[in-house]
Amino acid sequence: MPIPTEDPGRRARKRIQMLAHLAATGARLFDAHGYEAVTMEQIAAQADVAKRTLYNHFPTKEAVLAHWLEGELARDLAHLQRDVARRKTFASRIGCVLDASATWCEQHPVYLLAYLRHRFLSIGTVDPENGGENDGDIALVWRQLIAAGQQSGELNATLRADQLATWFHHLYLAAMLRWLTVPGLSLKREFQSVAKLFIEGAQAKS
């Protein structure tokens, strides 16, 4: 008699729910006690799961933080879709997203250095659950906007959209890091500068 197995779709849904539960628990603890003070053991205890369960889903505290922040960012970006769709050029569309991202980052400065450490260390790594690179955040937005810019003839189409998106994402992260470490800078202006640099380098040549 065959042993019944759990539906893969149900397993995936349960995993997504657990990830959200653990990340939300971590976020509440970070807000209450400060990011540096919170331990993985505290997150597991507060979430009412075994430490092994937590580590199976998130190998580090930075990964917990990143999942929560990227969920918050994705939710905010979803509200931008209609506004971005109304823009007529690649520059105006990416500028719209960057301005919103600057506003979002300014509301989460205390977490961003730890988040950036995690993102830089995870560049090029593969998520075995998704079968691809860990690019499930705003990097996907860059890829979509760049592909649309290539289709419209604004950007050079001889390079792959995902390659250009990776380059732009590194500029984006570098601008954020510079804003965090150099007092007095405007993140919106930093983003505008890297966007101008990218567009001038990637634009289609007549």
Q: What is the C-alpha separation between 88 and 70, in angstroms, rounded? A: 27
More confident residue, 122 or 150: 150
What does the pLDDT look like over 144-193, one tens digit per residue? 999 999 999 999 999 999 999 999 999 999 999 999 999 999 999 999 99
Whether the per-residue pLDDT at 132 is higher than 50: the answer is no
In terms of phi and psi (left: phi > 0; alpha: psi -120 to 50; beta: otherwise), the region of 149 is alpha
The pLDDT value recorded for residue 91 is 96
pLDDT at 135 over 70: no
Dihedral of CA atoms 58, 62, 68, 72 in degrees, nearest 10, equals -150
| Residue 99 pLDDT level (bands cut at 50, 70, 90) | very high
Q: How many residues does the chain have?
A: 206
Three-point CA angle 173, 178, 179, nearest 5°: 95
Report the pLDDT value the prediction gives residue 137, as an integer from 0 to 100: 65
Query: Which pLDDT band, with edges at 50, 70 and 90, does 93 fall under?
Result: very high
CA dist 90 and 126 (Å) reads 29
Tens of pLDDT along 22-41? 999 999 999 999 999 999 99
Domains and CATH numbers, the chain: 1-58 (1.10.10.60), 61-202 (1.10.357.10)
Q: State the pLDDT at residue 9.
A: 84
| Predicted pLDDT of residue 188 | 96
Instruction: Determine contact, residues 1/22, Cβ cutoff 8 Å.
Output: no
Over 70: is that where the pLDDT of 1 sits? no
Record the pTM: 0.77
**Euclidean distance between the first and final Cα of the chain, in Å?**
68
- Rounded-to-integer distance, Cα 69 and Cα 63, Å: 10
